[in-house]
Amino acid sequence: MKQKKDIIRFFRGNLPLGIIKKDPNLTVVEMAINAGVDIPTNCTSGTCGTCLVRLKKGQIQYPDELPPGLDDYLVKEGGFLSCCMIPEGACEIDVIPPL
């Protein structure tokens, strides 16, 4: 009974790009690649913000201290860093960042 809660759906705006079962050993960027979706990266450590995407649906646990690649405005808009943050449960991710 855990099929739906482990699914990540990728979009560009409202356009569906790919869908994949969540793998706890992979980052969102890596899961996106496996789903045929390209998310640009640079530092892969939460610093540069290149991998910023927007959570359309779902929940994410942000760290108490935001990494340099995020700020309060971006968090309010659903932004998260796909190189180092993973939403809980099923989710929908827009690869267009909230800028």
CA distance 56 to 79: 9
Site string for ligand FES, 21-50 (x = CB under 6 A): --------------------xxxx-xxxxx
* Closest approach of ligand FES to the CB of residue 87, in Å: 15
CA distance 90 to 83: 18
Q: Does 98 bind ligand FES (CB under 6 A)?
A: no
Q: Name the phi and psi angles at 53, rounded to 5.
A: -135, 180
Q: How many residues belong to the chain?
A: 99
Binding site for ligand FES (CB under 6 A): 41-44, 46-51, 69, 81, 83
